Structure formats: C-alpha cells, structure tokens
Amino acid sequence: MPNGPSPLIVIVAYDQLCIFEFGCAFEVFGLSRPEMGPGWYRCLTAAAEPEPIRAAGGGLRLEAAGGLELLDGADTIIIPGWRGPDAVAPPLLLDALRRAHAAGTRIVSICGAAFVLAQAGLLAGKRATTHWRHASILASRYPDIVVEGDALYVDEGDILTSAGSAAGLDLCLHIVRKDFGAKAANCVARRLVIAAHRDGGQSQFIERSVPPPSGARLSELLETVQKRIGEKWTLERMAEIAHVSVRTLHRHICEATGLPPSEWIKRQRIAYARDLLEETTLSVDEIAHNAGFGTTTNFRQHFRTATGLSPARYRCRFYAHDLATTSPMQKS
C-alpha cells in the first residue's frame, strides 16, 4: 500500500435508515483490514439531518461521527438506500452533494438512493440504476436519466449507482477493484464469503417461480459445467447428463437462472476468463481456449460485448499484481 493518506469514505445516515444497505457499505469500507496495510480506507458516518437517526422499523439508533460538513473532505460519498421514491431529500443534503460533486468527489448510491441523486440533479444525462421495483418510476419522473433497470450497478466515473440491497455489495467490491486492484477486491470478497464477480442482472430476481423439483440434479449439472467450462457444452449433452429431454432442460435452466442455457454458459465462460486475466499471465489465446471460446476472435468479441473492454485492456486495468504497487483513487 502507498504511504500517502488513505481515501476517506463518508457514508450518509438519515432517519429511517436502510440498515442492510448501510451495513453493506460499512462492511466493505468501515472495518479494519490490517492485511491490506496502512493505506486502506478511512470511513466516517455523516448525519444528513438532526439526530436521532433511527433505523427503518425502529428499535435501533445510530450516532454519526458528524454532520454534512464531513462530506466536504470526502473522497467518496455513499448514500445507502433511501426512505422511498416519494420521500423528499433534505435541501441541505442536496446542496452538500452538489457541492461535493463539483469539487470532484465520487458519489455512490445504493438501491433507492438513486432518487436522492436524481433530486440533486446529479444523474441528468447519465446512465443509472436502482431497485427493479422502482426503475420505471425513476425513468418516468426523470426522463433525462438513462435508467438501466436490469443492471446490478452502473459506473459513470464520478457517479455510481447500484440496484437493490445486495447489489450494493457488488458495487462496493467494484470500487475496491478500481481503487486497489483485483487482488484486494478478491480478498475482501473472500472475507465476505461472496463472489468477487456476480453474473447476470436484476432480471434473474424479478418475481420468478421457485426452481423445479429436479433442482438438486440441475444444480449438480450446472456446477459440473462451471468446473469444466473449457469443454464444449451443447444442450443435448447437458440433457443427456441430466437424464431429461432437451426441452425440459431448457425450461429448467431458464427458470433457475433467468437466462437461456447458451447465455448462461457464455457468462460462465466470461467470468472464468476474467479470473484468468486478473490472476494469471496466460496469453489471450490460451485464455480463449481454456474458457471454451474456441477461437481468440470469438473470445475477443464476446468479452468486449460483456465488459466494454478488450481482454488486453481489461488485464491492464485489473491484473492482480502486488498490492504494494497499486495506488488508490483519491480526490485531487
């Protein structure tokens, strides 16, 4: 880790606080992580309005480290959820967010907090996301926002938004990856016992039926495919292993994952390729073969579509070299 000042994360607290979303941010940025060295994040909580700050549902109160003045010194501000899409944010909070954004501070919303950023005018002309239940509301109220209702999170550089609740963890890990590199993000993910990369979008969670009775057998099949992703996996081969018809297997995979089988397999290949790019020095040709893409050209096309980057540029950005050579992103 560098010897310079640690990046300061300020988490905004408000009355009727969404405690799970707050916990996601604090778990990633607020806990002491001595294995990361002295350059790891500093974290403070700022009250958006006069105390008491009570958690949603009552019974729990939070004492913040200070008020909105803390936002002026932050490198990153996180708003963990909000009271609801119809709840008006305090004018002083909106002013503080506008001032911080103008000063170059990175601002992050989790779940419904996108509505706070929208009220502050910080999402105009940008891509953003929020919980799938409220995405259409955000889009209709703020037509100048490009709402990506199926995204787990959206990174617009200085403004980042996440989908509902647990997607906040995905976004927080993404921030760690940007600031400290893939190795640090993977380390935090292991501590949290979650995946460093989560595949798919919000559509896989939208009012979907319970997986079919053959779920245990299907789970074993999908696990086998993941472990041997470099092999050629046709629907016919998978159906034979699962002892079901092709049509039945197609339906079961769609119900269980929210994706057609071919799309699910492609995403597993992309996820494996990302790990190899981050953690090995294998050539792009070798990774294309090991991930089951067949040709390097095919791999490059699918990888760019999925990540927006070529394999080479992705490795340049996220390769897990020694943490001591990785500098965090800080506000200049």
* 3 within a domain of the structure (yes/no): no
Residue closest to 306 by CA, chosen among 262, 281, 269: 269
Instruction: Give residue 131's pLDDT.
Output: 92
Q: 228, exposed or middle or buried, with CB in 10 Å at 0-12, 13-18, 19+?
A: exposed
Q: What is the pLDDT of residues 233-275, one digit of tens each?
A: 999 999 999 888 999 999 888 887 778 999 999 999 998 998 8
* 199 within a domain of the structure (yes/no): no
Looking at the structure of the chain, the number of domains it has is 3
Q: 312: domain CATH number?
A: 1.10.10.60
Structural contact between residues 164 and 132, judged by C-beta atoms closer than 8 angstroms: yes
Structural contact between residues 90 and 46, judged by C-beta atoms closer than 8 angstroms: no
Structural contact between residues 228 and 265, judged by C-beta atoms closer than 8 angstroms: no
The identity of residue 158, as a single letter, is D
* 213 within a domain of the structure (yes/no): yes
Co-location of 91 and 119 in the same domain: yes
For the chain, the 3-state helix, strand and coil shares in percent, each to the nearest 5, are 50, 10, 40
CA 18 → CA 59, 147, 158, 222, distances in Å? 13, 22, 23, 35
pTM: 0.68
Co-location of 118 and 81 in the same domain: yes
Co-location of 79 and 145 in the same domain: yes
* 331 within a domain of the structure (yes/no): no
**Strands laid side by side in the 8-13 sheet:** 42-47, 8-13, 76-80, 106-110, 159-162, 153-155
Q: What angle do CA 227, 229, 230 make, to 5 degrees?
A: 125
Co-location of 227 and 283 in the same domain: no
Rounded CA separation 96/47 (Å): 12
End-of-domain residue from the set 192, 224, 243: 192
β-bridge mates for residue 161, sequence order: 109, 154
Q: Which domain, by its residues, includes 38?
A: 8-192
In terms of DSSP H, where are the helices of the chain?
19-29, 91-102, 114-119, 135-141, 167-180, 182-192, 215-227, 235-242, 246-257, 261-279, 284-290, 296-307, 311-318
CA end-to-end distance (rounded Å), the chain: 18
* 332 within a domain of the structure (yes/no): no
Rounded CA separation 98/108 (Å): 13
Co-location of 246 and 318 in the same domain: no
* 42 within a domain of the structure (yes/no): yes
Co-location of 24 and 128 in the same domain: yes
Co-location of 40 and 161 in the same domain: yes
Instruction: Give residue 216's pLDDT.
Output: 61
Rounded CA separation 160/162 (Å): 7
Total Cβ atoms within 10 A of residue 321: 12
Coil, strand or helix: which one is 201? coil
Q: 161: domain CATH number?
A: 3.40.50.880
Co-location of 128 and 222 in the same domain: no
Residue 67 backbone phi and psi in degrees, to 5: -105, -155
Co-location of 150 and 38 in the same domain: yes
Co-location of 216 and 250 in the same domain: yes
* 17 within a domain of the structure (yes/no): yes
Rounded CA separation 227/291 (Å): 11
* 197 within a domain of the structure (yes/no): no
pLDDT < 70 positions in the chain: 1-4, 196-216, 320-332
For strands 127-128 and 146-147, give the pairing.
parallel
225 Cβ contact list (under 8 Å, min separation 6): 233, 238, 265, 268
Co-location of 251 and 105 in the same domain: no
Co-location of 287 and 314 in the same domain: yes
